[in-house]
Amino acid sequence: MTNMQWAKRFTVVLALAGAAQAHSLKGLWDGTVKYDDYQIPFLIEFSQKGDTVSAAFFNGDEQVTSTAGRLNGEALNVNFDHYATRLTATYQDGVIKGTYGNTKYGYHDFEALPHKKVTGAETSAPNIAGVWTIPNESPKGEHAWRLIIQQQGPKASAAILRVDGDTGALVGNFNAGKFVLNHFDGARASVAEITPKEDGSLAIDFRGFHSAAKHYTAVRADQAKAKGVPEPTDPEEHTRVKDPNEPFQFSFPDLSGILVSNTDPQFSGKVVIVNITGSWCPNCHDEAPFLAELYRKYHKQGLEIVAIDFEEPEQRKDPTRLQAFIKKYGIEYTYVVAGEPSELQAKIPQAVNLNSWPSTFFLGRDGKVRAIHAGFAAPASGEFHLALKKETTERIENLLSENVRASR
């Protein structure tokens, strides 16, 4: 090979290396997604090996990762199969631009630029850290919600905790007299503007996924009673059963079509968690890893878990999202599909006021309901998340310690 041929080959190698480097997405990016007439900023992190790409959205300290992705030239496609969503974009001149979403809820404008650290932000802010109470009459019969805020100077992270679970971590900074906090984890999108008031309360303007702005007032939880503000709903008291002396009954097919019933030998004499869930439900995504962890830890000691799943018609015909949900969270416990979300009451007739996703029933070895917990307080709920995990673990251990054989 002549020197000229070597030079040409070396030039081609350099060009290819430069092109590969130019098309590297690896690292943090500042993204925005547009819902209706407002944009929500968020962080997204890309990992890349060749043309294989992985993306992660952030929910506080948690990462919500993609299931598949590829960069083919300038065309970027990243799937989040457990949400049945897709990021479709082009990468050109250092900018990622395209859409994110699915056919059911629509595709929304998406854009991302290489991450830049915020400069010039305010260095001081009023202290709003702690637990607050938001009076609110909800369709689920609640009279108040909780607002949990963690703060470091002008930076804050917050979550609104309802009976069915929390909003995910809303993160942002204090500027121009208010905290502007955003959340986008691939399934939930919301923005909250929190303004401290002279009377010690907080004015909250909150806007969620495809919903109009709503206005709330929050007071410190330790001052709520004196101000006549009702207590948030106790998730242990929200749902009950008509007859606690009657064994909890279920009989639904699993994903292979095999009928699974409470009378099956695998549940006889066992402690059973019955989890009402759906792969469309963000709070159910929050709860699934914890249930999977409990099953791995206590199954050999006599714990069974049955997820009674409700899905939309299209997922019942082709449960690709549900299958990805099960795979994503390493679920090994029993999974059955009962029907559509609108059929919840009809399919679980023993329950009263069953309207939270998820809802978790705890059965003793005799098959009777010993406790019900509505919703799931995720890590964004701070102390309430830790308390829930501790109480649930202790409940299971206490039920397992009982040597009562089921009589069915």
- Indicate the residue among 114, 148, 182 that finishes a domain: 114
CB 216, CB 348: distance < 8 Å? no
Q: Alpha helices of 135-255 — where are they, by DSSP H?
A: 221-224
In-domain check, residue 17: no
One domain, residues 106 and 137? no
18 exposure class (CB count in 10 Å sphere: 0-12, 13-18, 19+): exposed
CB 385, CB 168: distance < 8 Å? no
Write the DSSP string, 68-91: EEEEETTEEEEEETTTTEEEEEEE
Structure tokens at 149: 């805020």
One domain, residues 270 and 372? yes
One domain, residues 142 and 66? no
- Indicate the residue among 191, 224, 257 that finishes a domain: 224
In-domain check, residue 279: yes
Indicate the DSSP class of residue 179. E
In-domain check, residue 11: no
Residue 103: pLDDT band by 50, 70, 90 thresholds? Answer: confident
User: Around 242, how many Cα atoms within 13 Å sit in the side-chain half-sphere?
Assistant: 7
Which of the two residues, 405 and 164, has the higher pLDDT score? Answer: 164
d(CA 147, CA 161): 6
CA-nearest of 203, 158, 199 to 178 is: 203
One domain, residues 302 and 184? no
Strands (E), 60-188: 62-65, 68-72, 75-80, 85-92, 95-102, 106-114, 130-135, 144-152, 155-162, 165-166, 170-175, 178-184
pTM, two decimals, is 0.87
Give residue 210's pLDDT: 66
CA distances from 191 to 35, 167, 180, 286, 374 (A): 11, 10, 7, 19, 25
In-domain check, residue 368: yes
d(CA 396, CA 401): 9
* For residue 22, pLDDT beyond 50: no
* For residue 399, pLDDT beyond 90: yes
In-domain check, residue 234: no
In-domain check, residue 326: yes
User: Which CATH number do you get for residue 148?
Assistant: 2.40.128.120
In-domain check, residue 173: yes
In-domain check, residue 122: no
What is the per-residue pLDDT across 60-73, written as a single tens digit (0 to 9) for each? 888 899 999 999 99
Residue 403: pLDDT band by 50, 70, 90 thresholds? Answer: confident
* For residue 407, pLDDT beyond 50: no
One domain, residues 173 and 245? no
- Indicate the residue among 114, 138, 168 that finishes a domain: 114
* 325-330: average pLDDT: 94
CA distances from 60 to 124, 169, 285 (A): 21, 5, 15
What is the per-residue pLDDT across 226-242, written as a single tens digit (0 to 9) for each? 999 999 999 999 999 99
One domain, residues 289 and 313? yes
One domain, residues 285 and 162? no
Strands (E), 176-226: 178-184, 189-196, 202-208, 214-220
Q: Give the H/E segment covering residue 275.
A: strand 271-277
Give residue 284's pLDDT: 96
d(CA 29, CA 329): 26
CB 76, CB 53: distance < 8 Å? yes
One domain, residues 251 and 387? yes
One domain, residues 146 and 290? no
CA distances from 324 to 66, 81, 320, 361 (A): 11, 6, 6, 24
What is the per-residue pLDDT across 156-195, written as a single tens digit (0 to 9) for each? 999 999 999 999 999 999 988 999 999 999 988 999 999 9
Q: Are strands 303-310 and 334-339 parallel, antiparallel or unpaired?
A: parallel
Indicate the DSSP class of residue 376. B
One domain, residues 109 and 39? yes
* For residue 120, pLDDT beyond 60: no
Number of domains in the chain: 3
Q: What are phi and psi of 386, to 5 degrees?
A: -65, -40
Structure tokens at 145: 């919600």
CA-nearest of 129, 158, 134, 154 to 144 is: 134
Cα angle value 203/204/210 (rounded, 5°): 155
What is the per-residue pLDDT across 350-387, written as a single tens digit (0 to 9) for each? 999 999 999 999 999 999 999 999 999 999 999 999 99
One domain, residues 105 and 140? no
Structural domain of 339: 240-401
Residue 59: pLDDT band by 50, 70, 90 thresholds? Answer: confident
One domain, residues 136 and 62? no
User: Which CATH number do you get for residue 310?
Assistant: 3.40.30.10
